[in-house]
Amino acid sequence: MNKLDYIRKSKSLFMKWNLHALTQPFSGLLGNGMNMGHLSKWRKEHPVKGYNDFYQSTWDYTRRFKLYEAIAQQENLLEQPLDYMEFGVAGGFSFKWWMEKNQLADSRFYGFDTFEGLPEKWGAFEKGSMAYAMDSLQINDPRASLIKGLFQQTLNPFLEQYENRNRKLIHIDSDLFSAALFTLTQLYRFLKPGDIILFDEFAVPQHEFLAFKIFTESFYINYDVIGAANNYLFVAVKMKEASY
Ligand SMILES: C[S@@+](CC[C@H](N)C(=O)[O-])C[C@H]1O[C@@H](n2cnc3c(N)ncnc32)[C@H](O)[C@@H]1O
């Protein structure tokens, strides 16, 4: 048996012997450690061209608003019409922040959520956590549309009639790997240089970060990191021309 056949045979045997029964109990821990390493390497390889508060010895969720302020200034986001798309609206706190700050009549604000909470368990958060009834948000701005349902069911019908006009500010705040990967890959063909993608839980190695890593590496996405806050929990990236 040559070396290649030997490797192939061992792989088949591992499956025959149900290797997963041995590895599954440790898969969370091992996966987390490995992806934490990828995140650390990514940080070294992607210097932030703009606001960055790293390193902080404490954790503060309100630092996301400092990042929003900073990128709004850096990129002049309040003086130009935007298409703001938020994936994971929940109570609408970040959604309303951007809508109140950017008052231009031609801006449009699209908020996607189940409004029934997370469709899967996420860490300590059970399925159904973070549920806010859509009507309780009381958003009456005519520039805003809330789109209720799973992204996996609502995004493509939305994109079929979407006019790709304004600069896009895409806010991924859905926490889950599945939701982030689905959203990024479906939006791929609409992305233009200058569009910005904001992440709200980037530093969670098995979720938004992993989805971003797989997306950017598989679609050969060229980007700059233009902001980071709260030890990279909140991150902003800007699309560049593709360079194959
Ligand atoms: C952290 S909350 C959003 C917080 C919000 N942006 C804020 O500023 O307070 C995450 C939201 O993502 C939504 N979500 C996650 N995955 C989803 C999916 N596949 N489809 C629709 N909504 C999803 C959940 O329902 C939840 O409301």
Query: How do residues 9-42 score in pLDDT, each as one tens digit?
Result: 888 999 999 999 999 999 889 999 999 999 999 9
Q: Is residue 6 over pLDDT 90?
A: no
| CATH number corresponding to 46-239 | 3.40.50.150
Quote the ligand 1 centre to 202 CA distance (angstroms).
14
Residue 219: per-residue pLDDT: 97
Question: Which one is predicted more confidently, 6 or 160?
Answer: 160
Residue 4: per-residue pLDDT: 84
Q: How many helices (H) and strands (E) does the chain have?
A: 7, 8
Q: Is residue 243 over pLDDT 80?
A: no
Sign of CA dihedral 121, 158, 189, 237: negative
Contacts of 150 (CB under 8 A, 6+ apart): 114, 119
Mutate to test the pocket of ligand 1, among 158, 173, 204 (most ligand atoms within 8 A of CB): 173
Q: Where in the chain is the domain with CATH 3.40.50.150?
A: 46-239
Q: Which of 4-8, 58-62, 239-243 has the lowest mean pLDDT?
A: 4-8
- CA 125/CA 195 separation, integer angstroms: 31
Ligand 1 in contact with 177 (CB < 6 A)? Answer: no
- In this structure, are residues 79 and 167 in contact, taking their beta carbons and an 8 Å threshold? no
Quote the ligand 1 centre to 129 CA distance (angstroms).
9
Number of the ligand 1 atom closest to the C-alpha atom of 201: 1
Beta strand pairing call for 82-87 and 167-172 = parallel
Q: Is residue 161 over pLDDT 80?
A: yes
Residue 212: per-residue pLDDT: 98
Ligand 1 in contact with 194 (CB < 6 A)? Answer: no
Q: Which of 28-37, 68-77, 199-208 has the lowest mean pLDDT?
A: 28-37
Residue 2: per-residue pLDDT: 85
Residue nearest to atom 23 of ligand 1 (CA): 113
Mutate to test the pocket of ligand 1, among 86, 93, 114 (most ligand atoms within 8 A of CB): 114
State if pTM tops 0.85: yes
Residue where the block lists tokens 């012997």: 17
Residue 223: per-residue pLDDT: 98
Summarize the confidence of residues 150-179 as an average pLDDT. Answer: 98
